[in-house]
Every structure is written in C-alpha cells, then in structure tokens.
Amino acid sequence: MTTDAKVDAAAEAALGLATTSTETRDEALEAKATAIEEAGEEILAANAVDVEQAERQLAAGAYTQALVDRLKLTEAKLASIVEMVRSVAAQPDPIGQTVSARELAPGLELFEVRVPLGVVAAVFESRPDALVQIAALGAKSGNAVILKGGSEAAESNRTLHAVIAEATPMLPVGWSALIEAREDVETVLARDDAVDLVMPRGSGEFVAHVEASTRIPVLGHTEGVCHVFIDADADAGMAAAIAMDAKTQYPAVCNAMETLLVHEAVAADVLPPLVEELQQAGVTLRGDAQTRQVVELDPVTPDDWRTEYGDLELSIGTVGSLDAAVEHINTNGSKHTEAIVTEDAARARRFMQAVDAASVFHNASTRFADGYRYGLGAEVGIATGKTHARGPVGVEGLTTTKYYLEGEGHRVAEFTGADATAFTHRTTPDATW
C-alpha cells in the first residue's frame, strides 16, 4: 500500500473511530496489551537485530550510547510497556465529555463537547516503546495514527505494529499505519487535506524542518536541556539527592538534567561533595569560571549550556541570584522541564512563575516530567511549544472540542428588532450533552 493510500485509509478510519464506543476502544487496548505479552519472544528477537546493528554503528562512531540505550528492549521493559497500555485503558474517556454548557435562551442550549482530532501523524526516535505509547493513546482518544519510527528500530517497529494491528480487528481498518522511509514523511506532510496534527520528536532542527514543510498544525517535542537550580536556602542533602537522580537515574532521556546551577552563597558547601558523588557515578563534568574556583573541573563552553547530552555529562554553573538562574535558564533552556531546590516557598514560587518551560518543579527531580508519572497513562511526546497542548501530551491532548446547539425551532430573527427576545447566556454547569 502506498503512503497516500495509508493516509486515505487513516482518514476514513478516523471517521469511524469518532463514533466507536468507550468499551470497544478499551477492549482494543486490552487485546493489544495481551498480544504484546504473548508475542514477547518475537518482539525481543526483532529488537535484538536492531540492537546488534546499532552497536556496530556505535563502535564505528555513528551512533551514541544514549541511542542504543533507548533502543534496547528487555523483558522488564516489555512488562512496563504492557502496564502502560493498560494504564491508558484505565484513563477516563474524554470523548463525548461536556466541557461547558450554556443556555443561550429558554430552550436553546449550547454544549462544548470533547471530540478526537482525527488523524495524528507521529515521527519519533529510536525508542520502540514510543510506537506502542502513541498507538495506545490514539486508540483511547479515538484518533487514527500514522507512525514513523527511526530506521535504527525498524525491525522492532515492524514487529510491534504487526502485533498491534492483528490484535485490534474491532477498530476500523487502517486506524494505525506504519511508514518507514523519509520520503513517506514528506508525503504525509503534504496531506493537509487528511492529516490533522503532526507530532515530531527529535532535535530542534528536525522539528523546525517539519514546521517549515507542512501546512498541518505541528506539536513539536524537541530537546530537553533541563536544569536543576540549587538555591541559597536549599537543604544540601535533598539538593544532592535530586541532582543525582536528575542526572544519573536515566541520562539518555529528554527529562534528564543537563545543567546544574548553584547559588554562590552555598557553592563552597554544596559543590565539593556533590561533584565527588557525580564523578564516582561516571559523570563527566564541566564548570564555569566561578565553579572552578571551588572545584577542579574542565571549563564549560558556550555550546555546552545549550547541549542535550543524553549521557553521563553535565555542565555546572554558579550564579549570584535567583534572577540570574532564571535568566540563564530562559536564555539557554529548551522550555522542557526545570527545577529549583529551596526551603523558601516564596522564592520557589517566584522561580516557577518566571521560568518559561512546560514543567517547573520545586524540590523534585526533573525525571518526573513524564506522561505516565503525571497519571496520564502515557504520552505522545512532551510538547515544548505553547499551542493546543503543553508538556506531556496524553489522551486529552489528542482531542479538540465541537459545539452542539440544541434548539426548539429557534430562529435568529427572534433575537433582532424592536421586540427582540433577549439572550440569557446562562451557564448550566450540571448539564451534559
């Protein structure tokens, strides 16, 4: 089947999905979870082929260790994927939900109701679990999905998609499509007549390319240049624990810390033991001039401040004030996730309001920025822009609204002229469509 034919089939399927019951969509998700469990050996075998090829590319210097780490599936990862699918099924169904209700006049009722977007195209990186997440969220939210994973995960993605497609005959044919070639992506981007949203996950350059190449609305997931700021009033033990978790718990992901900022008032106390702990964990460290007055590190470069390492590497800066930390983050960050460690609630609030990012945390690791951890079941990606949805995009982020007007023969003419009927415009919070 050609890519255009897949897009056409997805558009047709989306019309059917919009009226598919909650029970049917949840049944599909449970079937999908069970099928992945039963096909575990087949999926891991396909993934092993991808990993073997990726490790050869790693040895040749073409791939990073972070990419290989994201690519690898294990029995434990498969179990977590299955759990994720079931957690999506357990989410409340947003489709048909009445967002607002208003009486315009007696007998004339207006309802704003949540509905699917239609066809969502997602282009994502090396993680095979991303394919399952996006497909699960698409099914739950009543959207058809077009999926394009990285070439490094080709065998894994083909196998996972085949398992999903075979397990979901209760959904309209074509609701999930897999494309593989770059030219297929260009074909999809040209189909603004049928595709309703594109979600690219990747570098800022890639997301910018997608935005410049299509008239379809784009919800981009770009780099995670995330910061932890240790304030003057931070608890030193808490600060160290949060910094270690944010950097070392899983450094290959977009919500890992890439820059540590420390207030100059506590740098001499906080940095020496924390730097030692980070180095013992294998983290390569670079610091600015002020930091290197306290601890011996290689110098940081201007490019380091804006680099998503995705690995055990970290830049450290010392700042003279909370405002300086905010300025550094807003200048160099990627609007993904930022954190402050402080015992001063007022300063935390000021930081959280001033920093421009999709998620801002107080006394918590940046690693919590995740759809599953937010209770969304999963995520299509973490949107770093400011349109439609922001932060982890779950089921509700794949919906829009439609207005339904219920009347009793009402005509606009009744509301005009000298004896016009007056609008009541009365909110009816308990009314549902």
Instruction: Annotate 149-172 with three-state secondary structure.
Output: CCHHHHHHHHHHHHHHHHHCCCCC
**CA atoms of 356 and 354, how far apart (whole Å):** 6
User: How many residues are there in the chain?
Assistant: 433
Query: Could you tell me the fold of the domain covering 3-93+117-219+393-399?
Result: Aldehyde Dehydrogenase; Chain A, domain 1 (3.40.605)
Q: What is the pLDDT of residue 255?
A: 95
**CA atoms of 337 and 324, how far apart (whole Å):** 18
Q: Global pTM?
A: 0.87
In the chain, DSSP finds a helix count (H) and a strand count (E) of: 13, 17
**Which residues fall within 8 angstroms of residue 85, CB to CB, at 6 or more apart?**
29, 32, 33, 36, 132, 136, 378
Q: What is the pLDDT of residue 386?
A: 83
Q: What is the pLDDT of residue 206?
A: 85
226-368 and 3-93+117-219+393-399 share a CATH fold: no
Residues of the chain short of pLDDT 70, as ranges, are none
Residue 332 near residue 315, CB atoms below 8 Å: no
Residue 341 near residue 230, CB atoms below 8 Å: yes
Q: What is the pLDDT of residue 204?
A: 78
Q: What is the pLDDT of residue 201?
A: 85
Q: What is the pLDDT of residue 28?
A: 98
Closest CA to 178 of 121, 216, 116, 222: 121
Parse the chain into domains and list their residue ranges: 3-93+117-219+393-399, 226-368
Is 89 in a helix, a strand, or coil?
helix
CATH superfamily membership of 226-368: Aldehyde Dehydrogenase; Chain A, domain 2 (3.40.309.10)
Strand locations in 238-358 (E): 257-263, 284-287, 298-299, 313-319, 337-341
Q: What is the pLDDT of residue 120?
A: 97
> What is the chain's alpha carbon radius of gyration, rounded to the nearest angstrom?
25
